[in-house]
A and B are shown apart, each in its own frame.
Chain A
Amino acid sequence: MTAIEVRGLCKSYGSVQAVRGVDVSIGEGETVALLGPNGAGKSTTIDMILGLAEPDAGEVSVFGGTPTAAVDAGWIGAMLQTGALIRDLSVRELVEMVASLYPSPLPVAEALELTGLGELANHRTQKLSGGETQRVRFAVALVANPKLLVLDEPTVAMDVEGRRSFWATMRELASHGRTILFATHYLEEADAYADRAVLMAHGRVVADGPTNEIKARVGTRTIKATLPGVDLDALRALPGVSAAERRGEAVVLSCADSDAAIRALLRAHPDARDIEIAAAGLEEAFLELTADGVEASAATPGEDLQRVASGTGVA
């Protein structure tokens, strides 16, 4: 069964087109990362999936019904991107209050245990640190015992230890057959914790596929070198190189392993010059994907990304 089915979703705020034609289908039990830079339209898409925003065009269904029906049935637990807690309750009381709203919640003690809040249970919500607040918000999402867990940039404001234990908990939850959708702008988080990544940029889905392929696709680094007349297919065959393209006299290699790639490149083409190696931030990688989407998908027909959308057409 499909947990989330999104078709032709569009949403504008004033003159800003936040989401411009998104299609995504997420099966029950999948863990999917919604990956993209700030302003890609991730949060707006999530708002529409949760029924917090009404699409201008397109359709959203959650477990076969409307988002509102899924919310009313208590099937969704969510941690929204922005948010603090209401004051004048203890952590336990707040989680109890939320638990009381759902038809079959987790035991409050279990939700507190899973999120490492046991020791903070009696603290007032207004006295917590940023990371602790995030954990309480996670507990609030979890205690719903939801079929679908939606997390919008959940690890923001968490320290390293907080992140580690957060994702450990998430793994455990995912293994129990829950559907999990989380938004992040960290490629590493998507790679480590999701089966599948949906890449968004400028309000569109730019790529959608298994995370290892997405990782190879956006690469971690790019190598740029002046190398006239070289055969691109030969470059693509080099170890560590996931994509290659020409820009005038230069070539740009997207590399999953730039160390291996640069060694191989220099062995094969000792005449390469003006070499630059840069860490491709997601932003750049996405811009690249959006700009060269058609070309890239045509150049790599064997690649089994489910979808590489065109950057120029409006879906």
Chain B
Amino acid sequence: MSSLAYTRYELLRVLRNRRFFFLSLGFPLVLYFLIASSARHTTNLAKTGISAPLYFMVGMIAFGTMGAMLSSGARIAAERAVGWNRQLRISPLSTRSYLRAKVLTAYLMALLSMVALYVAGAAEGVSMSASHWLSMTLLILVCLVPFAALGIAVGHVLTPDSIGPAMGGGIALLAFLGGTWFPIPSHGFLHDIGQALPSYWLVQASHIAIGGHPMGTKGWAVIAAWTLVLAAVARRAYRRDTGRV
């Protein structure tokens, strides 16, 4: 009854799916080089006090890791479509072990995406202390928790046909409103919307590099609220999803 074995095979499956693997890692990298190279010497992007290569590195990390977390949804939807989810339901695999495997696989992809962009960022001149790299990494990993839940929820609700456009559109919107492509103004409508989204706080992690404290009570509250709501939605979606697809 080793659920670790299940997780191990799930990880193996992700690493073996080469097209998925290289596309999901490669796309944010290409975008990063396109955007950051042209603004390489901008040291104070839109008065944020953050250099363009650093800002866009974290921006693309937000974009790439959101995609990595939500891609677990695409894998779940594909498994449901072939009836594998029902096969798992009639095994002693516990809900907890199942979800843990899905979340860990998503996090593995997110970490790989992050490391790739760190290397790209360093190549574009981003530098900070080891402790800043570390705390930025930890902060991003925590801010990704609601996306882990979102991935599981959409995977158990959508079909493989609909999940592509839903994810593409959803990520684009969250990335745009979160400030991935350009810094969100410090007040006004976009600012208010952005602050209510987990993707905004993901992008704010870049403040760590310049010694800032990006989260504050509001940031933690937003991440916690989204985590609670999406975890409840994911749990419900998983429980209801026992029928034939």
A87-B13, A93-B12, A97-B5 in contact; A78/B90 too (CB < 8 A)? Answer: yes
B91 contacts partner chain A, Cβ-Cβ < 8 Å? yes
Residue from A76, A89, A97 with most neighbouring chain B CB atoms (10 Å): A97
> Bound complex: CA of A51 vs CA of B91, how far in Å?
11
> Bound complex: CA of A89 vs CA of B79, how far in Å?
13
B16 contacts partner chain A, Cβ-Cβ < 8 Å? yes
Count residues of chain A with CB under 8 A from any CB of chain B. Answer: 31
> Bound complex: CA of A100 vs CA of B88, how far in Å?
12
B91 with A101: CB separation less than 8 A: yes
A53-B243, A101-B1 in contact; A88/B13 too (CB < 8 A)? Answer: yes
Residue of B nearest to A97 (CB): B9
Give chain A residues whose Cβ lies under 8 Å from the Cβ of B89: 50-52, 71
Q: Looking at the complex, which one of A74, A78, A88, A96 makes contact with B5 (CB distance below 8 Å)?
A: A96
A82 with B244: CB separation less than 8 A: yes
> Bound complex: CA of A83 vs CA of B12, how far in Å?
22
A88 with B16: CB separation less than 8 A: yes
Q: Looking at the complex, which one of A47, A86, A98 makes contact with B91 (CB distance below 8 Å)?
A: A98
Give chain B residues whose Cβ lies under 8 Å from the Cβ of A83: 82-84, 86-87
Mark each residue of chain B from 77 to 121: 1 if its CB lies under 8 Å from any CB of chain A, else 0: 011001110111111111000000000000000000000000000
Residue of B nearest to A52 (CB): B242
A80-B87, A88-B17, A96-B5 in contact; A101/B82 too (CB < 8 A)? Answer: no
A97 with B6: CB separation less than 8 A: yes
Count residues of chain B with CB under 8 A from any CB of chain A. Answer: 28
Give chain A residues whose Cβ lies under 8 Å from the Cβ of B79: 86
Residues of A within 8 A of B (CB): 47, 50-53, 71-74, 76, 78, 80, 82-89, 93-94, 96-98, 100-103, 140, 144
Residue of A nearest to B75 (CB): A86
Smallest beta-carbon distance B79→chain A, Å:
6
Q: Looking at the complex, which one of B84, B92, B244 makes contact with A71 (CB distance below 8 Å)?
A: B92
A87-B13, A93-B12 in contact; A102/B90 too (CB < 8 A)? Answer: no
B residues 149-188 near A (Cβ < 8 Å) are none
Give chain B residues whose Cβ lies under 8 Å from the Cβ of A85: 82, 84
Give chain A residues whose Cβ lies under 8 Å from the Cβ of B9: 89, 93-94, 96-97
> Bound complex: CA of A291 vs CA of B49, how far in Å?
83
A101 with B90: CB separation less than 8 A: no
